Structure 1
Amino acid sequence: MASDDLEPRVEALEEQVRDLTARVRATEHDAAAARVLAGGADRDVGEIRGELRDFRQATATSFNATRQDFVDLRDQLDRGFAEIRGKLDAAAAGQQQIVDLIYTVIDKPTS
């Protein structure tokens, strides 16, 4: 190996070491930034999960309340229809009495 060839080679190696050092520092900086972003994303995901859980619970509560409202409405309708049915039956019985009285008058012999 010639001594005149050694100095440019050492300078080239030193230049490569400086470049690699700069690249390592940049990579470390990028990795730190990625960790910060990942931490923020992790917090965001946690918040979204909480919001979805709250939304799911509120939706289920709302559906249960709506279902109970329908049950109550059906019970009221059933009672109302039963009441109307009773009144219609009473009216039909009254009309039947009127019909029976009319037939009694029609069938009665005149004296």
Structure 2
Amino acid sequence: MAQPDDLEARVAALETQIRDLADRVRHSEQDAAAARVLAGGADRDVAEIREEIRDFRQATTSSFNAMREDLTDLRQRIDNGLADVRSEMHQGFDQVDRGFTEMRGKLDATAAGQQQIVNLLNTIISQGEQPDGQ
């Protein structure tokens, strides 16, 4: 059997080890509690970041959709404006063409009148060259 002095030393050593183990367990429990608090905070942070990202994505999508609508409206307005400009341009060309046609008619009438004058002058000249006794 073990000696009583030896038994007391062994029991004292065991008690010291148990106190150390109890301290370690208490510290481990405190560390675990702190880790749970940190994990909970990280969970909330991740949830907040996800919400912020979701909100940012929705805002970005809304902005892009608004820009697309604005560009579509702008393109429509430009297309309509170009159609109006083309229409006015064609009307202007038609008006110029009518003016040229009118001027051509007047120039043709003037040329015909001048031709008649030339014919009359030629007639007068040819009659003046003939001896008619005057």
Normalized against structure 2, the TM-score is what? 0.76
Counting aligned pairs with the same residue, the percent is: 52
Match of 2:20 in 1: 19
Give the C-alpha shift of residue 55 in structure 1. Answer: 1.2
The one-letter code matched in structure 2 to 1:56 is: R
The one-letter code matched in structure 2 to 1:25 is: R
Question: Whole-Å Cα distance in 1 between the matches of residues 32 and 94 of structure 2?
Answer: 91
Q: Residues 40-79 of structure 1: matches in 2 within 5 Å?
A: 40-79=41-80
Match of 1:89 in 2: 90
Give the C-alpha shift of residue 95 in structure 1. Answer: 1.2
Give the C-alpha shift of residue 63 in structure 1. Answer: 0.8
Q: Residues 29-48 of structure 1: matches in 2 within 5 Å?
A: 29-48=30-49
Give the C-alpha shift of residue 101 in structure 1. Answer: 2.6
Question: Whole-Å Cα distance in 2 between the matches of residues 38 and 8 of structure 1?
Answer: 44
Q: Any unmatched runs of 5+ in structure 2?
A: 117-134
Higher Cα Rg: structure 1 or 2? 2
Question: Whole-Å Cα distance in 2 between the matches of residues 20 and 80 of structure 1?
Answer: 87
Give the C-alpha shift of residue 103 in structure 1. Answer: 2.7
Give the C-alpha shift of residue 44 in structure 1. Answer: 1.2
Q: Any unmatched runs of 5+ in structure 1?
A: none
When structure 1 is superposed on structure 2, of 95-104 and 27-36 the one drifting more is: 95-104
Match of 2:129 in 1: none
Give the C-alpha shift of residue 62 in structure 1. Answer: 1.1
Question: Whole-Å Cα distance in 2 between the matches of residues 103 and 60 of structure 1?
Answer: 63
**Superposition RMSD on alpha carbons, in Å?**
1.4
Give the C-alpha shift of residue 6 in structure 1. Answer: 2.1
Q: Structure 1 stretches (4+) deviating beyond 6 angstroms?
A: none
Question: Whole-Å Cα distance in 1 between the matches of residues 7 and 65 of structure 2?
Answer: 85
Match of 2:8 in 1: 7
Q: Is the partner of 1:27 in helix, strand or coil?
A: helix
Count of paired positions: 111
Question: Whole-Å Cα distance in 1 between the matches of residues 5 and 102 of structure 2?
Answer: 143
